[in-house]
Amino acid sequence: MTKQDRVLIFDTTLRDGEQSPGATMSHNEKLEIAGMLDEMGVDIIEAGFPIASEGDFKAVSEIASNTKNAQVCGLSRAIYKDIDRCWEAVKGGVNPRIHTFIGTSPQHRAIPNLSMDEMIDRIHDTVSHARNLCPNVQWSPMDATRTEEDYLCRTVETAIKAGASTINIPDTVGYTAPSESADIIRMLLERVPGADQVIFATHCHNDLGMATANALAAITGGARQIECTINGLGERAGNTALEEVVMALRVRNDIMPFKTMVDSTKLMNISRRVATVSGFQVQYNKAIVGKNAFAHESGIHQDGMLKSADTFEIMRPEDIGLSETNLVMGKHSGRAALRSKLKDLGYDLGDNQLKDVFVRFKALADRKKEVYDDDLLALVSDEGTNAANDTIQIKSLEVICGTEGPQTASLVLIIDKDEHKHKAIGDGPVDAVFKAIQALFPHQAQLQLYQVHAVTEGTDAQATVSVRMEENGKIVTGQSADTDTVVASAKAYVNALNKLLVRREKNAPT
């Protein structure tokens, strides 16, 4: 594989992805996702924004120290203290990277109130400062795709002369179309002195639904690094989806003769895990990793699939880590069968983790005649809810509901290891539960979304409940699954509150 054939995958799930309103991840969840990204073969992991908070700094620093293969990158504004803090966080990693940026479009130049010449000086000084600390410097002109071409060339040339080895061209507001995305890269390669000595990257947002198309177009124009996130997670409509560009380059290698080092068989597992820890479920018709991506309902499609899978499938389920098994799970299934089934689904659990999941699997199997794959996925995903180290935990819940009323909830919470009890009346059982939680743990967060969907079919199906809450502009999403919808609702609400406490700590001043 030559340098021209290779496309670097730069994952920013832990930075841009976590900036999605409500997508807060705990410290341990960030470390877990970073480990999965490293094992999958991602080239660069953007682990966070070290200056943002002490929590972000610690997460980036620990990820840098633990990552074995990938470069670990931190983001910093074009400010000396940001760059210094970023370097302190990443310097313990394998070939660490500083990523510094400044807005160059007319809309963004007004924010720091700099003239065009003053901004050039700022770019030169801050990139030089970063380069003196770290040989691996990436520079981004934020909102590059709305920056005047002549000025964009001038800023890129300045960054290259100051020592940047990677130049990222962000479509920050998702404004660009694919032909423009390719043309911008070609133009910079042709016009900027020294452009052939650096790697050009593309960072696209999905506001017009073209993030993946724009990223792939930039590669055909000469870019050799794609910035992306798992499941397309990110601000507003999201970012380029990692799984989409990886599989597009694999399936259409005939017209895009480029390769990545990502092990695609690990895509499904990390997609599920990111959906769980972020609280952002993957839409059923999402490309590559959606539940319906390999489902066929129409008679014509089913007939074709029975005769030959390639009539309606351009890739195999196993290419992304999906596999079919005939192992039916039920109350008589043992621990070895559960381990094997979970491994087929992409989860290789340690002994202690398997022990906990097995106990809850047996409890679920006692309530359900047959445990489906999606039930097991919900079970594993729900493992972190009501975790032993959470500030707030549910000990017991009893609900009275029906046509006669009043609907009441008797709840016992463990808060900071102390037991608290309350009985509340509400407009329905879920409202009563939420009022009981509010009474036991007073807070100002507003409920923005309450959503229920069945994990599998049937009256004994598990329900997955999502709860979104907002406090002082900060949004968190809690999630849980249970065959009892009211219990799932309580656990999801408490899960959101625990994430809110993490968010408060994350945004505490450094």
Amino acid 281: pLDDT:
83
DSSP 196: G
**pLDDT (mean) for 407-412:** 95
Amino acid 295: pLDDT:
66
193: preceding bond cis by omega (within 30 degrees): no
Choice between 500 and 232, residue whose per-residue pLDDT is larger: 232
Q: What's the pLDDT tens digit per position in 105-130? A: 999 988 888 999 999 999 999 999 99
Residue 229 predicted with pLDDT over 90? yes
Amino acid 245: pLDDT:
98
The three-state DSSP-derived secondary structure of 308-321 is CHHHCCCCCHHHHC
Report residue 43's pLDDT band, with 50, 70 and 90 as the boundaries: very high
**pLDDT (mean) for 89-113:** 94
DSSP per-residue codes, 326-376: ---B-TT--HHHHHHHHHHTT----HHHHHHHHHHHHHHHHH-SSB-HHHH
Asked if 270 and 321 count as a contact pair (C-beta separation under 8 A), the reply is no
Tokens 């809690």 sit at which residue? Answer: 478
Report residue 69's pLDDT band, with 50, 70 and 90 as the boundaries: very high
Query: What element of type H or E holds 430?
Result: helix 429-440
Q: What's the pLDDT tens digit per position in 421-438? A: 999 999 999 999 999 999
Choice between 189 and 377, residue whose per-residue pLDDT is larger: 189
Report residue 136's pLDDT band, with 50, 70 and 90 as the boundaries: very high
Helix (H, G, I), strand (E, B) or coil at 461: coil
**pLDDT (mean) for 76-89:** 98
Residue 312 predicted with pLDDT over 60? no
What stretches of 19-140 show up as alpha helix (H) in DSSP? 27-40, 54-66, 80-90, 106-109, 116-133
How far, in Å, CA of 260 to CA of 80, rounded? 34
Amino acid 351: pLDDT:
83
Amino acid 326: pLDDT:
45
Tokens 């939420």 sit at which residue? Answer: 434
Choice between 328 and 283, residue whose per-residue pLDDT is larger: 283
Stretch among 283-292, 296-305, 455-464 having the lowest mean pLDDT = 296-305
DSSP 241: B
Report the first-to-last Cα separation within the chain, whole angstroms: 45
To 10 degrees, what angle do helices 178-191 and 211-221 make?
Answer: 30
Q: What's the pLDDT tens digit per position in 161-178? A: 999 999 999 999 999 999
Asked if 54 and 510 count as a contact pair (C-beta separation under 8 A), the reply is yes
Residue 286 predicted with pLDDT over 90? yes
Report residue 328's pLDDT band, with 50, 70 and 90 as the boundaries: low
Asked if 53 and 506 count as a contact pair (C-beta separation under 8 A), the reply is yes
Amino acid 505: pLDDT:
66
Helix (H, G, I), strand (E, B) or coil at 481: strand
How far, in Å, CA of 245 to CA of 217, rounded? 11
How far, in Å, CA of 99 to CA of 451, rounded? 38
Report residue 329's pLDDT band, with 50, 70 and 90 as the boundaries: confident
Report residue 384's pLDDT band, with 50, 70 and 90 as the boundaries: low
Other CB atoms within 10 Å distance of the CB of residue 504: 13
DSSP 6: B
Choice between 117 and 28, residue whose per-residue pLDDT is larger: 117
Residue 301 predicted with pLDDT over 60? no
- What's the token pair of residue 142? 């934020």
- What's the token pair of residue 482? 């249970």
List C-alpha distances in Å: 250 to 4, 92, 201, 225, 257. Answer: 16, 33, 19, 16, 9
Amino acid 375: pLDDT:
78
Domains and CATH numbers, the chain: 8-278 (3.20.20.70), 299-383 (1.10.238), 387-506 (3.30.160.270)
Residues 6+ away with beta carbon under 8 Å from 427: 407
**pLDDT (mean) for 431-448:** 94
Choice between 274 and 276, residue whose per-residue pLDDT is larger: 274
Report residue 300's pLDDT band, with 50, 70 and 90 as the boundaries: very low
DSSP 31: H
Residue 283 predicted with pLDDT over 80? yes
Residues 6+ away with beta carbon under 8 Å from 351: none
Asked if 142 and 103 count as a contact pair (C-beta separation under 8 A), the reply is yes
Residue 321 predicted with pLDDT over 50? yes
- What's the token pair of residue 339? 């381990």
